[in-house]
Amino acid sequence: MSSVRRGSRFRSASKQVIKNLNEAKEETSTTLRVIKKKKEELNNVIHVEEIRDNVTDIISNISGTVTDIINLPTNNILKSYSDVYESCINAIVMIITYVGEEVINGTGYFVHYPENLIITSLSNIVPYNKKYNIDNVTRVVCHIIPENKIYECTCVGIDFINGIAVLKPINTISKSEHLKWGNGTNAIIGEHIMSFNRVSSSEQTTPLLSCIVTHNHYQANSGIPETILLNNDLTMICDGQPVVNMSSQLIGMIVTLKNINNQTIQKSCINSNIIVNSIKRILSSYKDNKSVSIVYMQLGIKYEQVTFNDIVDTGYEIINGIKITSVHKKSNLKKQVKEGDIITHMNDIKIGNGDDHHSFTTLINVIDPNTLENADSVYITLRTCDQKPAFKTSETLKVKLINDTRLTASGYV
């Protein structure tokens, strides 16, 4: 009996030991799981802290960089944009024109030359179609945004060739601000410029546009004046928008132009020098409160730009300019030139494309018979196509200009 009881006690003790070992093992496993979890949590905390520290360092570096830029007056682009906006925006007005059965909304701006005038694109005054002309305009008003007032305007004059209209408020505006004049020809390639718009109803326009100058006086084709090329789609810009540089100076305006054949219509940024010249000519002819249209003198020719093949064919030098394609029977050049001849200079100014060449259309348009002496004649430098070898020598001719609006309508310049 006693041996049986001792065996039972031994088996009971063994079971208890095994049970205790299992419990210890389970407790150890639980402890290990807790330790592993704590370790993972600790690693996550360390990782988050590292990320937080890295982000803090990045933010600190960015903040320091931005602060450094702001503290540098030569590189303060944001402040420059803000200053330009503040100095120009109150000079920009909305133009509302009632012509025939149409109402046209556009942008204009105040200049002081020699008095307060409003300059805008001609397409904001008269639509480019045969149905309407300047005589159909019944009312023109400007909406000045800061004052939220409407002022009646009279059209002083228009420039069909360059797409410019000059307006004058009928009543005196005492607090009108105006844009400062700048020289568009001196615009620097790659320079940041800005344009402002007051037509808020259009979905295709923005109130403020930043551009970069890609060419300061460029002739897109032979039939339009010199223009400033920008790196933006001009079809998305409103006519009449002024273009200013970072010194808040007016260097150009967005207009809709026709070429000399009155066929192609395109938007361009015309040079501010052309605007000044148009204002001078309009004011010199303005009297009796009647709207005037600028009259331009003509050589009476049609032409095309000299191409690369023409330059190569000379074999002697690079000759830029315009090649005559037609001479009108009324032109004083009729007996002196022939088709294919190249005009390289007018009044000693180079003609062509490039930084040191100018558009022939612009050069002929700046001639004002009312203000310039001997403005009825110009000097042209000619290379004739029948020379052997071709275009080798040049000759200078004095040519008397003509004035016939029918020539312009036919595409002659």
Residue 363 maps to a domain: yes
pLDDT at 222: 60
Question: 236: domain range?
Answer: 185-271
pLDDT at 251: 92
* Helices (H) then strands (E): counts for the chain: 6, 20
Residue 193 maps to a domain: yes
Residue 295: what are its φ and ψ, rounded to 5°? Answer: -105, 130
pLDDT at 233: 77
Residue 147 maps to a domain: no
Residues across the chain: 413
Within this chain, do residues 238 and 312 fall inside the same structural domain, yes or no? Answer: no
Least confident of 49-58, 249-258, 325-334, 354-363: 49-58
Within this chain, do residues 355 and 265 fall inside the same structural domain, yes or no? Answer: no
- Structural domains of the chain, count: 3
Residue 315 maps to a domain: yes
The single-letter DSSP state of residue 235 is G
Within this chain, do residues 381 and 331 fall inside the same structural domain, yes or no? Answer: yes
CATH code, 338: 2.30.42.10
Which residue in 116, 134, 118, 138 sits closest to 126, CA to CA? Answer: 134
pLDDT at 119: 94
Q: What mean pLDDT value characterizes the chain? A: 77
Residue 319 maps to a domain: yes
Q: Is the pLDDT of residue 115 over 60?
A: yes
* Domain boundary, last residue among 45, 73, 101: 73
CATH code, 261: 2.40.10.10
Residue 201 maps to a domain: yes
* Domain boundary, last residue among 220, 253, 271: 271
Residue 356 maps to a domain: yes
Q: Which helix (H) or strand (E) holds 343?
A: strand 342-346
Mean pLDDT of 309-338: 77
Within this chain, do residues 309 and 267 fall inside the same structural domain, yes or no? Answer: no
Q: Which helix (H) or strand (E) holds 141?
A: strand 137-144
- Higher-scoring residue by pLDDT: 303, 15: 303
- Residue 412 — very low, low, confident or very high, per pLDDT cuts 50/70/90? confident
In this prediction, what percent of the chain has a pLDDT beyond 70?
70
Q: What are the helix (H) ranges across 259-356? A: 272-285, 308-314
- Over residues 23-41, the pLDDT tens digits come to 766 776 776 677 677 666 6
Q: CA–CA separation, 316 vs 5, rounded Å?
A: 131
pTM of the model: 0.71
Within this chain, do residues 312 and 248 fall inside the same structural domain, yes or no? Answer: no
* Domain boundary, last residue among 39, 57, 73: 73
Residue 118 near residue 204 (C-beta atoms within 8 A)? no
Residue 197 maps to a domain: yes
- Over residues 50-73, the pLDDT tens digits come to 555 554 554 444 444 444 434 444
Within this chain, do residues 405 and 305 fall inside the same structural domain, yes or no? Answer: yes
Within this chain, do residues 306 and 405 fall inside the same structural domain, yes or no? Answer: yes
- Over residues 258-268, the pLDDT tens digits come to 765 556 677 88
